[in-house]
Amino acid sequence: MGVLVDTWSLGKAYATTVTTVEPRPDLAELDRPALEAALEARGHKRFHARQIFRWIYKHGVTEIDAMTDLSRELRATLTSDFALTRPTLAQRETSVDGTEKFLLRLADGRHIESVFIPDTPAMTFCVSTQVGCAMACAFCLTGKMGLVRNLTAGEIVGQVRVLADALNLRTKKFNIVLMGMGEPLHNYDETMRALRMLADEHGFDMSARRITLSTVGLLPALERLATEDVMPNLAISLHAPTDLQRGELVPINKKYGVRDIIDACKRFPLSRRSRITFEYVLLAGANDSPQDARKLAKLVGGVKCKVNLIPLNAAPGIPFERPSDEVIDRFAKIVADSGVTVSVRKSRGRDIRAACGQLIVEGQKPSAGQQLAVVAFGG
């Protein structure tokens, strides 16, 4: 593609053609049907997509030439026509409890954080879906970044590729929670494409039962999720039993209220053994009273669910404190005595700021376009 520009030399104008090169498609950004179509368009057999998927996801190769069951001719063509990328590991920290936090650099220089939580009882990867977050929850550091940009499907799956290799877990079973930086349903299309890539039988072959998606409850997207073939476990970030309280903690509640979310959860299709998880961050003096516990139990009582209580992981910049253990236990007992299954999440990685609500990468600002997108979205 040529672009005509004017240049000046010794006071005379010349027309110069500058050639711009279109970026090569990235194999890591293509789900298998898209890869099959891309290969077929270039005169190659569709079945090679299965081989390529196995090399990238089952074997973890990062170079096309390492795909040794492809012919040399095909490998040369792929190298010429496609890129193969993944996020770069920039920093790795280990907590005293074994939790590990990974700082990953993306191709454009942006950074995200991912977390590995061992012994939970399965190994768990906590991955991000956005750089920053538009939801601005009052108790979450990630929200203070604002939304910098959405991640692509390849960048979401790329975190799993990096962690699986760094932890020597590529051939082991592990769980994935979309609870890192960002709101998964605010980046719906790329998140769902990433889940399809993770579930592909020729790739990681992840069972949807091993994947949990956490959302504040964006209702139109939640209703779309209910129709998907790949159906992850669903966790709703509730955090308060009334609109007045939740509106102060989760700004999007002004658009999608508590009762609307509960009604949507009642309609959400669940398998016989599945339940929706309601996540509830306990904040001292804000949502942790016995009255709050009784209201919560009544609110969720008609949903096939469990409540996961998350004592606040306090950090500089979060204007709340963690309740005492006595208050946490009292709240849990009230909810449990009402007949609702309840658990209290054990905080992991607090000493390296890897716990729930503590992920933040300083110095990354939203672009003007992203700021406008957030305003239009209503976040």
> With the CA atoms of 371, 374, 375 and 377 taken in that order, what torsion angle do they form, in degrees rounded to the nearest 10?
160
Burial grade of 7 (CB within 10 A; 0-12, 13-18, 19 or more) = exposed
CA distances from 38 to 22, 27, 78, 79, 160 (A): 16, 10, 11, 14, 24
**Tokens describing residue 368:** 């003007």
Which is the catalytic residue, given 29, 36, 100, 113? 113
User: 113 catalytic, yes or no?
Assistant: yes
In whole angstroms, what is the distance from residue 135 CA to residue 341 CA?
Answer: 28
**Tokens describing residue 23:** 């970026």
In total, the chain counts a number of residues equal to 379
Q: Is the peptide bond before 23 cis (omega within 30 degrees of 0)?
A: no
* Closest by Cα among 57, 40, 103 to 197: 57
Which is the catalytic residue, given 137, 265, 305, 356? 356
The answer to whether 203 and 197 are in contact (CB under 8 A) is: yes
Helix (H) or strand (E) holding 333: helix 325-337
Strand locations in the chain, DSSP E? 2-9, 12-19, 88-94, 100-105, 111-117, 123-126, 130-132, 147-150, 174-178, 211-215, 233-237, 276-282, 305-311, 341-344
Q: How do beta strands 123-126 and 174-178 pair?
A: parallel
The answer to whether 207 and 274 are in contact (CB under 8 A) is: no
Phi, psi of 367 (to 5 degrees): -75, 165
Q: Which residue numbers are catalytic?
A: 113, 356
